[in-house]
Chains A and B, each alone.
Chain A
């Protein structure tokens, strides 16, 4: 399996955005993969999806075993249980052997003090396509650039987001597509107000 051609560049850009030289997102993902492989037999990989303003960004990392195995089991952990407030954000681990996550799920549930049903097994058994991939970043970027354009035009942040959703509805598209259209139409400079 191959990584997407942009994968490392995407992780480098996100690490740069963090602005903390001691933290390397690629290294964090690698460490997590190593630990998960030790903790869970037949571990194949993981994907992490963070959803902000309805814009999902997913980072996936699979190990070599995933090139010749299908996911027989998975565990889905809401990121709200891991200290990330965004609703709908999840971390999914995959393994080949059915039942491989049963003990891990029990320990996670106990360690985090979760009610039954918060951690879900086997809801997602579709492995990501590539060994390393970051999806949704282009739409995420367009969306927030468009928010910036609308802020510059005198909108508040809430008005900017609402306007993008309105345009999406009018155009029967996603807000990311509406954002892309807005950015494509940028031709004339707009001096700052006031």
Chain B
């Protein structure tokens, strides 16, 4: 896959290779220390950091974006810089571009002259007007196929070469694993938090049912029906209505005189 290098360029190429390897090592180390953000699930922050580390790892890169495909949610897209966001918006608006091709075909896409790129003519012409002329798109692979793609962009023409591809593909492997694991972890947090909230509300609802049953001698079904009717007539959720009933009972208990 790699082209042979002639002897005259081998010295400077070795220095470039060392610099590239150092950038990759640093980015891989940083990748291993990623922490979940304090956002709702940390996923976007994590993905943005993966994109930022890619810029440091891949020689020639000015910016990077990452797209994570999800079956039942809109795709998550992040960018290391504003211009990347603009370029990716063009790509997804047109429905053509290197990231789409990389994600759908599961292979790396590269171009050093987007202005006259025949594979994505409309995309290439539009982003060239923004001053972006080189792109390297790497699929992020899961066991069953691509789970997304990472786009690396540069303003200059011919910014990426075979070394960029090799380093990018090396970086994409642990990046894809981290991304898949982070996605699962973010969803695990969502499930845990929402289930706990549902049970907390359910406890209030059951306590309200118990209060109504004690007060009126009704069955579970009758008390539930009353709660639902109150919820509908008041335009409030079941849990809100239940909380009102429970709070009133708690207040009465607190205000009773102490027993001797």
Q: Which residues of A contact B (CB under 8 A)?
A: 13-19, 23, 25, 27-32, 34-36, 38-41, 48, 50, 52-53, 57, 59, 77, 79, 82-84, 86, 89, 91, 103-104, 107-108, 110-113, 140-141, 143-157, 159, 183, 186-194
Contact = CB atoms under 8 A, between A and B. Distances in A.
Contacts of B35: 110-113
Interface of B: 32-36, 42, 46, 70-73, 142-144, 147, 177-178, 180-185, 187-217, 220, 237-240, 246, 249-250, 252-256
A156 B217 contact: no
Interface of A is mostly: helix
Most B-side CB within 10 Å, residue of A32, A57, A91, A148? A148
User: Top 6 A-B pairs ranked by shortest CB distance?
Assistant: A148-B210, A19-B237, A144-B206, A145-B210, A148-B207, A107-B181
Contacts of A52: 199-200, 203
B192 A36 contact: no
Nearest to A103: B177
A145 B240 CA distance: 17
A187 B218 CA distance: 9
Given A18-B197, A144-B210, 12 more contacts: A14-B199, A15-B198, A19-B237, A39-B142, A50-B199, A91-B188, A104-B184, A112-B35, A141-B202, A144-B202, A149-B214, A156-B253
A33 B201 CA distance: 25
Given A25-B198, A189-B216, A39 B206 contact: no
Contacts of A146: 210
Contact of A82 (B192, B208, B211): B192
Contacts of A154: 252-253, 256
Nearest to B207: A148
A30 B70 CA distance: 12
Contact of B202 (A17, A186, A187): A17
A90 B238 CA distance: 27
B252 A32 contact: no
B143 A41 contact: yes
B195 A38 contact: no
A83 B198 contact: no
A194 B147 CA distance: 62
Contacts of B178: 107
A48 B210 contact: no
Contacts of B216: 189
Given A38-B142, A59-B195, A111-B185, A151 B34 contact: no
A34 to B, nearest CB: 6
Given A27-B72, A32-B184, A48-B192, A148 B36 contact: no
A23 B73 CA distance: 13
A19 B256 contact: no
30 contacts: A14-B202, A19-B201, A28-B187, A32-B184, A35-B180, A38-B142, A41-B143, A59-B195, A83-B192, A83-B193, A84-B196, A89-B192, A104-B184, A108-B181, A108-B185, A110-B34, A112-B35, A144-B202, A144-B204, A144-B210, A147-B206, A148-B210, A148-B214, A149-B214, A152-B214, A152-B215, A152-B249, A154-B253, A188-B217, A189-B217
Nearest to A28: B191
Nearest to B177: A103
B215 A111 contact: no
A110 B32 CA distance: 7
Contact of A194 (B188, B246, B256): B256
Nearest to A32: B187
